[in-house]
Amino acid sequence: MVRTGSTLSIDCAAMDDAALAAAVQRGDREAFRHIMRRCNQRLFRVARGVVNDDAEAEDVVQEAYAHAYEKLPAFRGDAALLTWLTRIVLNEAYGRLRRLRLVVDVGQIEAAQMDNASIVPFPGKFGNEDPAAAAAREQARRLIEQAIDHLPEPFRIVFVMREIENCTVEETAASLDLRPDTVKTRLHRARRLLRAALHDTLSETLNDVFPFLGTRCDRMTDAVMRRLDVQDPDARGR
C-alpha cells in the first residue's frame, strides 16, 4: 500500500510521470488522479483491444488502477510509468479472458489466416448517399471500430497498440511478452485483414476510433478515487 503522510500543495499538472509516481509514493492521493487522467485513454484502448467490450474494458482499467496503487511503492522507474501500467492492464484483461475461457488458440488463428477464404467480414457497407462530410466520417469511424472488433484478439491488441496508440514495436513486444518479429508479423496480418474490409478508409480515420470522451474519463477516474478512499481512508483528502 502507498504510504501516507502530510504533503505540501504541489502543481501535479506540471509534473512528469516519474515525479507524479514519487508524489503518490509519498502519500499524495491527488497525484494519482493526475496519473489516471494522463493514462486513461491508452489503457482503455489497450484493455478494449483484449476484451472487445467498452464496459468490460472500463472495469479492467479500474481494477488495474487499484492494483497499481497498491504496487506503486515497488515502482522504481525501470520502465516508463505508462508502460508499467499497460502491463498491469494487460495482465488483468488476459486474466479475465482466461477465467471466461475465451483465450484464443493463436496457432489455429494463424493457420486459418493462410486460407484465402478466411477474411474478416466487413460489418456493413459505406455508401455515398449522405452528403454531410461529418456524417460520413462518423459512419467510417464506426465501420472501422466494428472491423477491428472482428479481428482475432492476438492481432487486435497488436493493432490497437501499434496503430491507434502509436506504441513502438519494442514497447508493444515488451508489454505483450512477444518477440519484436512476432509483433511485426501480427500487425502485418491485422492490416491485411482490415485493408480487405475497409480499403481506402482505413488510413484516414484511425485517430478517431474508440473515442475516449471526457465524461468517460471523469467517471472512471472518480470511481477509482472512491475505491481508493475505501481501501486507504487515512489518506483521504490529501
CA geometry: angle at 207 spanning 206 and 212, to 5°? 120
Q: Which three cell numbers stand for residue 148?
A: 477491428
- Model pLDDT, residue 85: 94
Residue 134 has pLDDT above 90, yes or no: no
Q: Which three cell numbers stand for residue 12?
A: 501535479
With CA atoms as reference, report the closest residue to 5 among 73, 58, 98, 66: 73
Q: How far apart are CA 24 and CA 225, in angstroms?
A: 13
Q: How far apart are CA 34 and CA 20, in angstroms?
A: 8
Q: How far apart are CA 175 and CA 64, in angstroms?
A: 14
Q: Which three cell numbers stand for residue 75?
A: 515502482
Poorest-pLDDT segment among 38-47, 49-58, 82-91, 94-103: 94-103
Band of the pLDDT at 128, cuts 50, 70, 90? Answer: very low
Phi, psi of 92 (to 5 degrees): -65, -45
Q: How far apart are CA 89 and CA 133, in angstroms?
A: 36
- Model pLDDT, residue 124: 45
Return all residues near 179 (Cβ < 8 A) that are at least 6 apart.
Answer: 173
Poorest-pLDDT segment among 10-14, 134-138, 189-193: 134-138
pTM surpassing 0.75?
no
Q: Which residue has the higher pLDDT, 188 or 109?
A: 188
Residue 210 has pLDDT above 90, yes or no: no
Mean pLDDT in residue range 57-86: 90
Phi, psi of 16 (to 5 degrees): -80, 175
Q: How far apart are CA 21 and CA 11, in angstroms?
A: 14
Q: Which of 62-66, 145-149, 208-212 has the highest mean pLDDT?
A: 62-66
3-state class (DSSP) for residue 16? coil
Q: Which three cell numbers stand for residue 57?
A: 474494458
Band of the pLDDT at 117, cuts 50, 70, 90? Answer: very low
Contact 2, 24 (CB under 8 A): yes
